[in-house]
Amino acid sequence: MSKKVVCIEDDPDILDLLTLVLDDPEYTMVPVLGGEEGFSTIKETQPDLILMDLLMPKVTGWDIFRKMQEDDSLRDTPIIVVSACNERINSALGTEEQVKAMAYIEKPFSPLQVRASVDRALGLIH
């Protein structure tokens, strides 16, 4: 059975690229354009993994993190942050344990890096 991966991104080109990079029978990709539908999609699909941008208009990745932490069914869902990180964001993130992120992938990213991070998070490689 394929693993469900929700990808939340506000840039349609990056969302298309991530969907293409992760086109694999091992995954069922659920692309979500923008944070507005992000949390409801996560709640409905109960994914095995979430790829998420932090810097999105209106509903940010931070907003989605906070809602997930308040929901027992989502609190432990693995997350990979895919964002244009800078020092301000890196210092705000603190440790990975605080935000329960499996990995941080900085934009621009390597498709191979994304693929390896997703495979590792889903236990497909060690």
Domain contains 30: yes
Cβ distance 63 to 75 under 8 Å? Answer: no
pLDDT in tens, 19-28: 999 998 988 9
Which CATH number covers residue 37? 3.40.50.2300
Q: For residue 11, which amino acid is it?
A: D
Domain count, the chain: 1
pLDDT at position 89 over 80? no
d(CA 26, CA 70) in angstroms, rounded, equals 29
Is 126 part of any domain? no
d(CA 19, CA 13): 10
Q: What is the CA radius of gyration of the chain?
A: 13
Bridge pairing between strands 101-106 and 3-9: unpaired
Q: Is residue 46 one of the residues assigned to a domain? A: yes
Determine the Cα–Cα distance for residues 18 and 115; give it in Å rounded to an integer.
Answer: 9
Q: For the segment 101-122, what is each residue's pLDDT rounded down to a tens digit?
A: 778 888 889 999 999 999 999 9
Indicate if the pLDDT at residue 97 is higher than 90: no
Say what the pTM is. Answer: 0.87
Provide the domain limits for residue 33. Answer: 3-121
